[in-house]
Chains A and B, each alone.
Chain A
Amino acid sequence: MLYQFADVFAFLILSAAGLAIVFGMMGVINMAHGEFIMCGAYVTVGLVHAGFPLPLAQLCGTLAAGVIGVIVEMAIVRKFYTRPLDSLLATWGLSLVVTQGMLILVGSSVAGIGTPPGSFAVGDYTFSVYRLVLFAGALAALGFVYLIFMRTKFGVHARATMQNAKMARALGVPVGRVYALSFGIGAGLAGLCGALYAPTMTLIPTMGATFIVESFVTVVVGGSNVLLGTAPAGILLAAVRTSLNAWHGQIIGQIGMLIAVILIIRILPEGISGFLTRKQR
């Protein structure tokens, strides 16, 4: 059960972290989030087929998504900061173009690479080692976000921009570059999600959709702060889901999680991080 909790938690955190950063920093709802996940997965699988060892391929997949994120920010998202609804439409459009483009270019599916073997037994159950890698990946993603945003100068500049972009600029923060990099970090985390889950699933151009529900739900519950929001939301939702899974199976788990989301939003309209930061003051 603890093991299943870790599994669900990893899935929620990895799929939501990038989305939460982009939303929290720039107020942009990135509808193309799933396509950055797909990008990470495709690059990873492509490189493994080309003979790269899996971890290196995953690193490249993550970086590729990050770099493309920076380019997308500079080319498209940047123009829409004052118009949040338009940015939603623009990224949605991008998502459709990329999904269809991939269908045309690489076809409907690519040969998978298979989950790395290895398992261990606890009592009567056997577990795949790779699931532990995913959990570690989720923790590493959170740790990375913490270090970048709380322990570096870039992080201080980024948070200043998030709290008061005009004042940050008036003190010398190159706001445009901060936005581009933050978007790139968000896209890179999405790419990491795709890269880590690539061995476990079939690659199709619409695979981003697999992650979208969970990522949006986690961000909505968590609010705009990754560390104070996404992480606790991941714990909470994973707990709800695993206990319901154990009680009555996957479907009930999924339904129960969504009901929990609706309840939480009724009680905490600003999400968990909104609630936590308000209490601080």
Chain B
Amino acid sequence: MITPFLELRSVSRVYGSGDTEVRALDGVSLAVMPGDFVSIVGPSGSGKSTMLGLLGCLDAPSDGTIVVDGEDVSRVADASRTRVRGRSIGFVFQQFHLIPHLDALSNVETALLYRGIRPGERRDRSLAALDRVGLAHRHDHRPVQLSGGEQQRVALARALVTEPKILLADEPTGALDSKNAANVMEILAGLRSSERAVVLVTHDVGIADSAARKISMLDGRIVSDEVLRP
């Protein structure tokens, strides 16, 4: 039996309390298997980002169980969640979130810091990751010197340089024009492998339908979960 990379069991996430209580996620169960390529859609406020934050160990659930890469992270200390994050997960954000004073290579290298990796190896692996997104030749450019599409590709390189089993992307094409969006999606699709799961949140119907599996959310619940292609 193949164990899921990500598993939510009756997970809730409640913000605030009393009158201002918001059930951002309301008893959601979900399993993401190795090789999955999942898109999550739903109207604004339906809980997509909340779910992604929980899947990515950036947040802890109010209720329920979360297992990431075989490890129960539901009720563990911040340090443990941080460790699982660093080991198993790569993030891509809508706003790229590159560090402005570092060049592309150093931004990618940031993901390999404090892991006992020698500087030479760190540089080689980061250059290789930049090469995979077609930006090795711009490794010495700082974020301001790169276009939005290029910045998102650097962010992709940073996410995959650690060889994470799970790649989480929140609206990765939300800040890009259609040409750059297509380019980023092409790279993301290419990263899909039997050793990895890709989960992306999107507003874009076309992008959502290009995934292998599509999950629709509404009011903190999953309303449909369909396999588009095997």
On whether the two chains bind one another, the answer is no
A interface, CB within 8 angstroms of B: none
